């Protein structure tokens, strides 16, 4: 299913964009997947004309020749901008920032911008690996479970230990002095990290042991377009709650 967003009179994105769009960019996505949500949020916040193309992995749409031609790794998100094809959330955001927004929401100086880039890189790799593939997904998604219950439990236990370490780092290192991860103003790094951390809502995880992080996450969730981008995520959480599929 595809949907198009084209703000009236828009010719590119954000303030100071360098490139003029001839037609909307295409974003291939799964709406409950964190990197897809982070990219979609950036498109909306910068008024970049775009068309959403939902990919249904349950029907094997990622295995079609057309999809594989765009990304041989058969993963989303994928951004198509004319002849340019970019995959991986981190790379897509960097492309959009450099081509259309003059790195809007990446910070106002070189130091902040590259801290922001570093945080996105960390979140895209290590944080998502722990939050998603070693803690949340193996608890109830068969695709990510290990062959035996004992192995799966050991994976989740390992994930909890790594997750605690990451949350402590965010709390004590990044939020000790600033309101956001890269200082006193929100950047795209905050959005990217938050889209990953809210995956733990699938299993009823609470952040009360990390009060600065909990308060930060609440602020990030109040930004423009957050609720629109997380509609499918929130509906999924509600479905899990209704099915009593939450863990203590």
* 14, 46 Cβ separation under 8 angstroms: yes
* 35, 89 Cβ separation under 8 angstroms: yes
Look at the pTM and tell me if it is higher than 0.85.
yes
The upper half-sphere exposure of residue 122, i.e. CA atoms within 13 Å in the direction of its Cβ, equals 15
Per-residue pLDDT of the chain (248 residues; tens, 9 = 90+): 455 444 433 333 334 446 777 799 999 999 999 999 999 999 999 999 999 999 886 666 666 767 677 766 668 999 999 999 999 999 999 999 999 999 999 998 999 999 999 999 999 999 999 999 999 999 988 888 999 999 999 999 999 999 999 999 999 999 998 999 999 999 999 999 999 999 999 999 999 999 999 999 999 999 999 999 999 999 999 998 887 655 54
């Amino acid at each position: 299913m595809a949907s198009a967003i084209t703000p009236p009179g828009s010719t590119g994105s954000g303030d100071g964009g360098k490139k003029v769009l001839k037609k909307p960019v295409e974003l291939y996505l799964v709406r409950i997947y964190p990197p897809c949500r982070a990219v979609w949020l950036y498109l909306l916040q910068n008024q970049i004309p775009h068309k959403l193309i939902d990919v249904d992995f349950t029907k094997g749409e990622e295995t079609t020749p057309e999809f594989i031609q765009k990304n041989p790794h058969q993963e989303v998100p994928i951004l198509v901008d004319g002849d340019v094809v970019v995959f991986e959330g981190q790379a897509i955001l960097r492309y959009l920032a450099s081509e259309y927004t003059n790195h809007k929401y990446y910070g106002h100086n070189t130091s902040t911008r590259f801290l922001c880039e570093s945080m996105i890189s960390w979140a895209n790799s290590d944080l998502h690996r722990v939050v998603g593939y070693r803690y949340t997904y193996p608890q109830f998604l068969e695709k990510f479970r290990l062959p035996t219950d004992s192995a799966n439990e050991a994976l989740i236990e390992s994930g909890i230990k790594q997750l605690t370490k990451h949350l402590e780092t965010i709390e004590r290192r990044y939020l000790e002095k600033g309101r956001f991860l890269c200082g006193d103003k929100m950047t795209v790094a905050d959005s990217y990290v938050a889209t990953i951390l809210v995956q733990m809502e699938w299993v009823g995880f609470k952040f009360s042991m990390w009060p600065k992080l909990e308060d930060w996450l609440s602020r990030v969730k109040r930004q423009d377009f957050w609720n629109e981008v997380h509609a499918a995520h929130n509906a999924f959480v509600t479905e899990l709650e209704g099915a009593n599929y939450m863990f203590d």
